[in-house]
Structure 1
Amino acid sequence: MKPLNADARARLSYLSESHACSYSTSGSEHDSLSYLIHEFFENEYELGKSTLHPNSDDDSDSDTKSGSADRARQSADEIRKLLKQRNKCDPFRLQLYSNVEEAVEALAPFKLNRSCVNRAVMSRLREKGYDSGLCKARWEGSKGLSPGNYEYIDVMQIAVDGKKERYIVDVYFTAESEVAGPTDEYQTVLSALPEMVLARQEEMRPVLRILADEAKRSLKHRGLSLPPWRKKQFLIAKWLGPYRRTTNPVPASLGLAPAGSDVKCRAVGFAVPQLHRQ
């Protein structure tokens, strides 16, 4: 890798100073420096690509139908390799996935908003002995990135070498990946996603890149513009950006669920009235 020039180093320094998480909530804060560095290099890569090939486009109209289908199948195979096959080869992840699935099924008869479901699943996992937490990501807008916020679950495991391994658990990942009027190719990619995502951070990044690229192609094919929340930077901010982690079984300020649900998030997740399968 070539050393960064003065301009690049200056921009990286500015990035690390200006993207600090600036909101308050319960739990510990994780201002991931690795996220900031990865975001910087993502931007550098995209900038370099557009400079070297100003007229090129990944989703060129010159793609043949068969070529697009082949690419989509390759993307789907890569996602399966990252999210499904590795789970099957890892006893810890296999058991964790089973426990998450069990918790979600227990919630099925009730009517809960997403935040309540996430907190309930997190609480049930902690009852089973997992070091699980509710991760609250929120980021400010910047060049090329719209502001936003998102919640998901994570589980920490002590690896054989004593280091902690972080697993991202998202019950709603597939629903979050859907787009309007998807092409057959994008449906092929979506079909590769498991019902719920359980992955290490380093496995999430290539999956998010694939989904962002394929969503862009699908929307362009339908004559639709790419919304800010489908951009690669936005997806990375949702699942790999700075976050606050809480293990509280009860929200800091207990309140009513959104209108129409008529339910409160209670202390522990299963004495509460339906999981919206979106």
Structure 2
Amino acid sequence: MLHHHLAGPAGAPPLILGPSLGTSTAVWERQLPALSRRFRVLRFDLPGHGGSRADVLPAPEPGRTTVEDLASLVLAVADHHGWDRFHYAGISLGGAIGARLAAHCPRRVASLALVCSSARFGPPEPWYERAGLVRLRGTAPLLETSPARWFAATEAAADTETRTPFARGLLGDLAGADPVGYAACCDALAAYDLRPDLHRITAPTLVVGGSRDSATPVAHARELAEGIPGSSLAVIDCGHLAAERPGELRAALTAHLDAAAAAAPPAAPPVSAPGNGTRLPPPG
């Protein structure tokens, strides 16, 4: 099972927070105090990241892992806790997992927030190339270029001793990522294209874009917002990790989640846990 942390009142509405590629549950740390007051918050680590082992993947071999596989692992965690329905917010790849769930398991997702994410993360070739590089040399080569992509704030992106503790911690997560798990997540991003299915998402949806995000520019956020019926778009002055602007991100998320929770029907009784074999239905 994916490594995860729980916080917040046991009887509160469930909220799952998905991390971006290369980070861990720590990417949500500064949002946790506010979100855990109203929600039972579950933060998880991607395979090979943080406390999650790469061998939770059903097929970690090159080119085999899909976002559907990752979403099924998240469903297994939700089932383990008896959560038939939950709110979901995710950054980048974490957002793609939530969008896949909302499109293909709509009864499970009460609301959705997609933060600096995309319906398609560009052509597949660069992702397969990155996966090959990481399998060969680990994540060390990525440490030179990631700060400028992740962070807009100079003190976070700069390669100096003035780098913020938050930025240092996330870059430490990248340095410590298992090459097998990281590369498999790159394979998942390479194969991901949810554009034909965006109209299937019926959950109340917030899309957050970063005005200085070079990895998933605001145009990606607009494509999500235009493709998901009834969704709303907020743009924050940030790089790829909007968590670097905790106040702005917190305000957007809490307003969205509070509105969605207030409009939600009463929770259904918990489902029995089926174990780790939960799978999504096939596309179509």
TM-score (norm 2): 0.28
Instruction: Choose between structure 1 and 2 for higher RCO, CA contacts under 8 A separated by at least 6 residues.
Output: 1
Choose 1 or 2 for highest CA Rg: 1
